[in-house]
């Protein structure tokens, strides 16, 4: 694992991950991955991780670790993971400066 400042976790996202992890009795480790698919070409996938893998790149905020694999980091470098609550619901969102376009739901993007 290596530490990076090339992707960040907002305080809101860190607090939400900590609350979810505590409720589920897991470690506060959030994995962000990018998969092919979605309405714009790529889609974000979030999930709690049990451990940090050797090739993961990590950033830590308020005791919460955000991890990405090297391929995902190439697609989201310079971005931030946030947790946003609105009238439409609550969700993790990625502010990704590498995305050329995205979809209305905010879960997929294209480069």
Task: Select 2-105's CATH number: 3.50.50.60, 3.40.50.300, 1.10.287.110, 2.60.300.12.
Answer: 2.60.300.12
Phi/psi of residue 75, nearest 5 degrees: -90, -20
Contact 14, 61 (CB under 8 A): yes
The pLDDT value recorded for residue 93 is: 87
Contact 73, 56 (CB under 8 A): no
Question: Which regions of the chain are under pLDDT 70?
Answer: 1-4, 37-40, 100-111
Task: Read off the pLDDT of residues 65-85 as tens digits, 9 standing for 90 and up.
Answer: 999 999 999 989 999 999 988
Contact 73, 7 (CB under 8 A): yes
pTM: 0.83
């Amino acid at each position: 694992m290596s530490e990076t400042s090339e992707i960040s976790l907002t305080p809101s996202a860190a607090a939400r991950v900590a609350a979810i992890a505590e409720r589920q009795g897991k470690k506060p480790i959030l994995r962000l991955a990018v998969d092919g698919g979605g309405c714009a070409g790529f889609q974000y996938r979030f999930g709690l991780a049990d451990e940090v893998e050797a090739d993961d790149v990590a950033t830590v905020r308020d005791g919460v670790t955000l991890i990405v694999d090297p391929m995902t980091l190439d697609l989201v470098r310079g971005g931030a993971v946030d947790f946003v609550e609105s009238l439409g619901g609550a969700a993790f969102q990625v502010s990704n400066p590498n995305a050329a376009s995205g979809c209305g739901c905010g879960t997929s993007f294209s480069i």
